[in-house]
A and B are shown apart, each in its own frame.
Chain A
Amino acid sequence: AQSVAQPEDQVNVAEGNPLTVKCTYSVSGNPYLFWYVQYPNRGLQFLLKYITGDNLVKGSYGFEAEFNKSQTSFHLKKPSALVSDSALYFCAVRHMDSNYQLIWGAGTKLIIKP
């Protein structure tokens, strides 16, 4: 079965430090991988995606993610965290059907402390 795992419910990082939000996946075929961010009482915003090509993908707000096929991971990273990065982050993989459904991770709450 296809699935996405975000092993950490919450990640705490001090402002200015690098951050990593973990994501692993299990999907048949080549995956399309996505990261979204959700601020309180808001919809989701697209951050970045991996389709093919370079394993390091750069996205919005200074975020990047590294696709690792051997480890089936797609961790989200940022070199220097900001307090405003505090939000809920979702990893997703594209479902291989005609409607392009996404399979979602459970979400990771990122807290950046000043």
Chain B
Amino acid sequence: GAVVSQHPSWVICKSGTSVKIECRSLDFQATTMFWYRQFPKQSLMLMATSNEGSKATYEQGVEKDKFLINHASLTLSTLTVTSAHPEDSSFYICSARVNLAGVSNTGELFFGEGSRLTVL
């Protein structure tokens, strides 16, 4: 199946610093990627939809200036948590929709392994 690589898996940073998380589609092109946040023992919360070559679409309540998303190529989307604070500590997961020419897309997503962010 399609492989999505997410890096780093774990990151610990000081309050006030910025952290960048990368999401790469390794063997396919992904025009659309999704960024989720997951709190302990809770479901996925969609933060934003990342479209290659255009601005991300953020969900209601998600701060655009806080969570910067860039999707500069068909295989890479990045999430930057700016001026991180302890309340930003969470598990962040990206996913990508396979976009194959001539193939009907039924919508399943392929996920990265997630990034555990801890802000001290």
Residues of chain A whose beta carbon lies under 8 Å from any beta carbon of chain B: 32, 34, 36, 41-46, 49, 51, 90, 94, 99-102, 104-107, 109
Contacts and interface: CB of A to CB of B under 8 A. Distances in A.
Please classify the interface of chain B as helix (H, G, I), strand (E, B), loop, or mixed, using the class held by over half of its residues: strand
Contacts, number: 58
Contacts of A51: 106
A42 B46 CA distance: 17
Contacts of A42: 113-114
Contacts of A107: 42-43
Nearest to A51: B106
B91 interface: yes
B105 A43 contact: no
Given A42-B114, A43-B6, A106 B42 contact: yes
Interface of B: 1, 4, 6, 32, 34, 41-44, 46, 49, 51, 57, 91, 93, 95, 97, 105-114, 116
Given A42-B113, A44-B95, A106-B43, A101 B49 contact: yes
Nearest to A52: B106
Given A41-B91, A44-B95, A101-B34, A90 B106 contact: no
B109 A102 contact: yes
A45 B23 CA distance: 16
B117 to A, nearest CB: 12
A99 B106 CA distance: 12
A105 B112 contact: no
List the 3 shortest-distance A-B pairs measured between CB atoms, nearest first. A43-B111, A94-B107, A44-B111
B46 A100 contact: no
Nearest to B45: A104
B13 to A, nearest CB: 18
A23 B34 CA distance: 23
Contact of A41 (B4, B46, B51, B116): B116
